[in-house]
Amino acid sequence: MLGRDFLSLADITPSELRLVIDTALRLKRDGHGGLLSGRALALVFEKPSLRTRVSFERAMQQLGGHAIYLSQAEVGIGVREPVKDIARVLSQYVDVIAARTFAQSTIEELARYAAVPVINALSDDEHPCQAVADVLTIHERFGTVTGVHVAYIGDGNNVARSLMLAVAMLGGHITLACPAGYEPPGHVLEAARGYAHASGGTVRIVREPQEAVRGADVVYTDVWTSMGQEDERFRRQRDFAGYQVSLALMQGAAPHAVIMHDLPAHRGEEILDEAIESPQSIVFQQAGNRLHAQKALLALILGGVAT
C-alpha cells in the first residue's frame, strides 16, 4: 500500500485489507510512537464532519505527524480554484491528502493530479475509511469477519456499498434490505459478489428487514437521507417506512447480535433510541475505531510500519 491512493475498497486486495485490520489492532494495543514524525496530512473537506475530521487529526497527531484542515469556505474546490490546481499545490506542502467530497469524480481528479497519495474520506459513491473501521469492529467482536452474518437495513448508499465490499472481501455473509430502487448500483453488487465467490462469503439483496436480520450476528443501519439529499427527505421517509432498527426487529437476529451505525443517527427514523442505547449496541466502539483504522491506513500508505 506504500505510496498508493485509497479511493475505493477496490483499490486494495483482501489480503491488504486484512493487513490494515492487523495493523490497526497492533497500533491500538501497543501504541504508535513517532511513526510519522515530520509528516503532514491535508484534510480537504467540501462537507462538514465530526468523526472523520477528529479521527484523522488525532490519528496524525498520535503517529507524530501534523494535520491541516481546509474547509470548502477556505479552498473553494472547483469554484475558487480548479481541483487539479489544488492537488498540485498541496503536493508541494504535504505528504498525503484526505478529501471529503460530494462527487467521486472530485476525489479521482485530486488523485490524478496530486504527486502524493489521496485518501477518500467520503464521497457520494463510497466511504471506504468507514468500512475499514466497520470490519475492524466486527473482527474485534467476533475474532473474525469470515462467516459472520451482517444485515444492513436501509439505503444502498456510500456506506452500504463500501461495507458490502469489505465484508465480501473477508468471507462474511451480508444481506441488504433495501426498498425497490434504493439498492446499491449493479457494478458494485457485481464486484462484491466476485469477492464473495473468491472468499466463501455471500451477498444478498432482499426487500424485508425481517428477512435480512433472521439469524444475523450484526444488524447495521444508516440514515435514510444523506447530506446533499435534503430535498428528498419527505419522499425517503415515506419509502423507508418500516426500515427501522428497533428492539422488536432485533428479536429476529441471533441472541448475541450487535447493532452498528456509522453516525450521525437520526434517532426515531432509521433507528430507535431504545436500540442505539441498548446493551447490544456497539455504535460508539465502532466510532472509536475510525481513529485506529485511519492510523493503520496512514502508517501503511506513508511507510510508517513494516509489512
- 116-2-47-80 Cα dihedral, nearest 10 degrees: 10
153 phi/psi in degrees, rounded to 5: -115, 115
Check whether residue 150 and residue 22 sit in a common domain. no
295 and 281 in one domain? no
What distances in angstroms separate CA 205 from CA 42, 72, 103, 181, one per listed residue?
Answer: 38, 36, 25, 12
Domain holding 148: CATH number? 3.40.50.1370
Do 103 and 149 sit in the same domain of this protein?
no
Task: For residue 2, tell me if it sits in a domain.
Answer: no
The packing angle between helices 283-301 and 51-62, to 10°, is 50
Please check whether residues 76 and 150 belong to one and the same domain.
Answer: no
Helix or strand run (H / E) with residue 158: helix 158-169
Domain membership of residue 169 as a residue range: 130-287
In this prediction, residue 76 carries a pLDDT of 80
The reported pLDDT for the residue numbered 225 is: 83
Write the pLDDT tens digit of every residue in 142-197: 999 999 999 999 999 999 999 999 999 999 999 999 999 999 999 999 999 999 99
Do 100 and 120 fall into the same domain? yes
Instruction: Evaluate whether residue 82 is within a structural domain.
Output: yes
Please give the average pLDDT of every successive group of 10 residues along the chain, which has 307 residues.
96 98 95 89 94 96 96 85 95 98 96 98 96 98 98 97 98 97 96 98 98 98 82 88 97 98 96 98 98 97 76
pLDDT by residue (tens digit) across 244-277? 999 999 999 999 999 999 999 999 999 999 999 9
Phi-psi region of 232 (alpha: psi -120 to 50; beta: other; left: phi over 0): alpha
At 307 the pLDDT is 54
pTM over 0.85: yes
Q: Which of 32, 31, 8, 18 minimizes the C-alpha distance to 302? A: 32
